[in-house]
Amino acid sequence: MTNPNCWIIIHGSGNQKSVRKEAEVFAEAGIVTLLYNKRSKGYSKTNRSYELLAQDLVFGVQTLQNVQML
């Protein structure tokens, strides 16, 4: 049986340290938590590829699904 208690935290602009503490609290409570660095390729103040960001999120979901199967 898989564990439905999983979170993917996607931080906004700026430093992810602001949400890292939240991710650690979830993890300490037994909730699998994925916090990842946003890619810089295809994403800047003048150029944003939301498709690439969405692909990263989908990959994160797939990764968690694979981990849950173990």
- The tens digit of pLDDT for each residue in 5-38 reads 788 888 776 667 778 888 899 889 988 888 887 7
* Calpha distance 33→16 (Å, rounded): 14
The 3-state secondary structure of 1-70 reads CCCCCEEEECCCCCCCHHHHHHHHHHHHCCCEEEECCCCCCCECCCCECHHHHHHHHHHHHHHHHHHHHC
State yes or no: pLDDT of 43 exceeds 80: no
pTM, to two decimals: 0.67
* Calpha distance 61→53 (Å, rounded): 13
Domain boundaries, the chain: 6-69
Dihedral pair phi/psi, residue 20, rounded to 5°: -60, -40
